[in-house]
Amino acid sequence: MNRIFSGVQPTGNLHLGNYLGAIRNFVGLQNDYECIYCVVDLHAITVWQDPKELVGNTREVTAAFLAAGIDPKGSIIFNQSQVSAHAQLAWIFNCVSRLGWLNRMTQFKEKAGKHRETASVGLYAYPNLMAADIMAYKATHVPVGEDQKQHLELTRDIAQKFNTDFGVEFFPIVEPLIFGEATRVMSLRDGSKKMSKSDPSDQSRITFTDTADEISKKIRRAKTDPEELPSETDGLKERPEAANLVGIYAALSGQTSADVLQEFGGRGFGDFKPALADLAIEKLAPISDEMRKLMADPGHIDAVLADGAERARALTDPILREIHEIVGLISS
């Protein structure tokens, strides 16, 4: 059976990269897979979160899932901390995973930076929890943006080592699903940096809660070069900002970058940016309108999460029991 698991951190500033690289793909996969989509609040607290903001951000990601078109009945939507199997399996994986493996994780190096000594242990062990998220369901496929690739390789290593150590064929070796024209959306201010929730500049990203006016302004101010757009994708090679905007247009319009250049090749950003702004508003405004409506009824959102958590626990309970048996942990 093919089962999808993926997660999004409730750390605020949900942006176009999260949408095009992940959430939009989550929606499309619902027809072909059993899908479990998680708001990973335990991952969020690996760096400091204000408790009240965390509650709001968890509801906001849930609202984004719903507004983007994830069906809470057909798929499972819940927040990670309501299903204890995630943390329980993460501990077991802390004992399977190796320090050397975690030392290679580029995301930890980027996030901890020079402050390695004062980073939380949770931030360091983050990828083990991520592996547990996926393996608590024995999920087979994980849709993510490009930046999560290394974490999924670690998940595969952990699953493999567990199977070998205990002489079982228990965990599947998960397949990343990284697809679409925008697997790595870059900052609007700097084409060499990915669009991220934590960039200090709000101008670097388009968020789910931006108004039409804000979207339009951010795209108009996006960094570009003075050249016209090329008519073939080869011409984008040394032009990261242009490549990014063309990729965003392609992803939003359901075309390839080559298609977009056929239309816009030879034209300047003075033409292209307004077209991109119109398209982004057309695609994102209905989602942010729906999100605003959903956010006005937190009781409904919490009920969706509670229902999803109950259904998630029904999946993880028997799997965790089997894992305990394999490891030699007595359970009643």
Q: Tell me the catalytic residues.
A: 111, 194, 197
134 binds ligand TYM (CB under 6 A): yes
Which one of residues 43, 138, 189, 273 is an interface residue with ligand TYM (CB under 6 A)? Answer: 43
DSSP class per residue in 100-147: HHHHT-HHHHHHHGGGGGGS-HHHHHHHHHHHHHHHTTT--EEE--GG
Residue 141 β-bridge partners: 4, 175
184 binds ligand TYM (CB under 6 A): yes
Which one of residues 3, 6, 24, 65 is an interface residue with ligand TYM (CB under 6 A)? Answer: 6
Is the CB of 58 or the CB of 148 nearer to ligand TYM?
A: 148
User: Segment contacting ligand TYM (CB under 6 A): 126-134, 258-266, 276-284, 320-328?
Assistant: 126-134
Is the CB of 62 or the CB of 148 nearer to ligand TYM?
A: 148
Which one of residues 4, 5, 57, 138 is an interface residue with ligand TYM (CB under 6 A)? Answer: 5
Q: How many of the other CB atoms lie within 10 Å of CB of 278?
A: 14
Smallest gap from Cβ 258 to ligand TYM, in A, equals 20
Which one of residues 68, 154, 177, 185 is an interface residue with ligand TYM (CB under 6 A)? Answer: 185
7 binds ligand TYM (CB under 6 A): yes
User: At how many degrees (to 10) do helices 240-253 and 257-264 cross?
Assistant: 100
Which one of residues 4, 8, 36, 250 is an interface residue with ligand TYM (CB under 6 A)? Answer: 8
Integer Cα distance of 43 and 129 in angstroms: 8
Angle at 307 between CA 301 and CA 313, to 5 degrees: 130
153 binds ligand TYM (CB under 6 A): no
Enumerate long-range contacts of 91-96, CB under 8 Å, 24 or more apart. Answer: 92/132, 92/323, 92/327, 93/128, 93/129, 93/131, 93/132, 93/135, 93/158, 93/162, 94/125, 94/128, 96/158, 96/161, 96/162, 96/165
Residue with the shortest CB distance to ligand TYM: 21
Is the CB of 185 or the CB of 277 nearer to ligand TYM?
A: 185
Which residues, 258 to 317, sit near ligand TYM by CB under 6 A? Answer: none
Cβ pair 124, 78 in contact under 8 A? no
Integer Cα distance of 57 and 50 in angstroms: 10
22 binds ligand TYM (CB under 6 A): yes
Which one of residues 3, 13, 18, 60 is an interface residue with ligand TYM (CB under 6 A)? Answer: 18
Smallest gap from Cβ 309 to ligand TYM, in A, equals 16
172 binds ligand TYM (CB under 6 A): no
132 binds ligand TYM (CB under 6 A): no
Which residues lie below 8 Å from residue 255, measured CB to CB, with a gap of 6+?
181, 249
Integer Cα distance of 127 and 94 in angstroms: 10
Smallest gap from Cβ 230 to ligand TYM, in A, equals 23
User: How many angstroms separate the Cα of 229 from the Cα of each of 194, 259, 288?
Assistant: 21, 13, 30
Binding site for ligand TYM (CB under 6 A): 5-9, 17-18, 21-22, 40, 43, 130, 133-134, 142, 144-145, 147-148, 151, 183-185, 194-195
